[in-house]
Structure 1
């Protein structure tokens, strides 16, 4: 079993929140991050994406990020820049930030969920809400077998939510709680799509629709 507490874990502070199972394309251009990704590629090791919040934010809560693996190097440029596709693997908590490496790093603790019985109702409700959203957004119906295998992270990783919502998912240590949260998020997104579709119909009929 991998160590739960790891020192000198590479960090990539960004204006985004990544989730386990989520694919995140990254353009690596700063020298320190080129060094970091180069070492991760050489060692086959992970790095962490953590939401770079406003420095004036007084939130004292532990910073929780998502470990990433380099799924694929998309492009190597002559000047050393890289385009990569990374994939979220597991959540972690920053224990202590470190400043002795060429790139940001920290001692981190990888997080585990609480031991609890699975809630079948929460799973079924989340899957149905996700199915409705996918059908509304794409006119395609998810495969039942594939959908049954998807947990809260896997479903949420395919939908673009706000940063606060994604961070809220990442912070939860209960799959049942995550399923209940994504259900609310999927239903809200579906209602938003329905509103947009109705607005488009009105716009076609009278030439104008106002938001806000």
Structure 2
């Protein structure tokens, strides 16, 4: 279904079902948020990653935590769904901000159990290697739940939101984790060697010498 929606482009990737806090200070976006609050409507954050506005996430405003006298806002938002911007008018008529025609991108939560278990083990190892305290991953996670926590570049996150099936996203992040985990293990070994410097160490010389 195609429809029009206010656009708030940012150089980041917002994911569905994830919370995002925003400090809104530009005049055009102060107007956008004020209009959304008045109409109880949503807006989209297209990711301005590759010098264009195309894919992004529709957002709903969950809470206004602070409203400033000069019209600025601190707001809590949450992602709803991935959208593709088909066309946009910037600025829109008598508004300061852009409004665009969007297409809702379908999402299939057809995850693979074995891939999910492999990702779970890899993420838990990553947490241990980077010494993240008190972070345990629940087994009912979806890829979007962890996407901001596994060291993806903004460009890689942008690729991720264009995948329409959970199984595709699982393979994508698993490939990423298989690349970074060996590097993290090497860093951990280097840290351990550095910490051992200056301490007595037990050596076992080769028997043939």
Is the TM value for this pair above 0.5?
A: yes
Aligned to 1:90, which of 81, 85, 92? 81
* 1:18, distance to aligned residue in structure 2 (A): 1.4
Change (3 A) 1:26 1:128: same
Distance 1:73 1:195 in 2: 44
* 1:103, distance to aligned residue in structure 2 (A): 0.7
- Show the counterpart of 2:40: 44
- Show the counterpart of 2:200: none
Change (3 A) 1:119 1:205: closer
Structure 2: 5+ residue stretches without partners: 198-209
- Show the counterpart of 1:133: 126
* 1:132, distance to aligned residue in structure 2 (A): 2.2
Larger displacement relative to structure 2 (31-40 or 44-53): 44-53
* 1:71, distance to aligned residue in structure 2 (A): 2.9
* 1:88, distance to aligned residue in structure 2 (A): 1.9
Provide the alpha-carbon RMSD of the alignment: 2.7
Distance 1:107 1:181 in 2: 29
The Cα offsets for residues 58-84 of structure 1, whole Å up to 9 and x where unpaired, read as xxxx82111122233232222211222
Secondary structure at 2:176 match in 1: helix
Larger displacement relative to structure 2 (35-44 or 185-194): 185-194
On the 8 A contact 2:82/2:105 being kept in 1, the answer is: yes
On the 8 A contact 1:20/1:157 being kept in 2, the answer is: no
On the 8 A contact 2:29/2:97 being kept in 1, the answer is: yes
Secondary structure at 2:8 match in 1: strand
Structure 1: 5+ residue stretches without partners: 207-212
The Cα offsets for residues 173-202 of structure 1, whole Å up to 9 and x where unpaired, read as 111010111122234343343343344445
Distance 2:171 2:196 in 1: 38
Rg comparison, structure with higher value:
2
Larger displacement relative to structure 2 (67-76 or 101-110): 67-76
- TM-score with structure 1 setting the length: 0.78
Q: Does 1:16 align with 2:12?
A: yes
- Show the counterpart of 1:110: 104
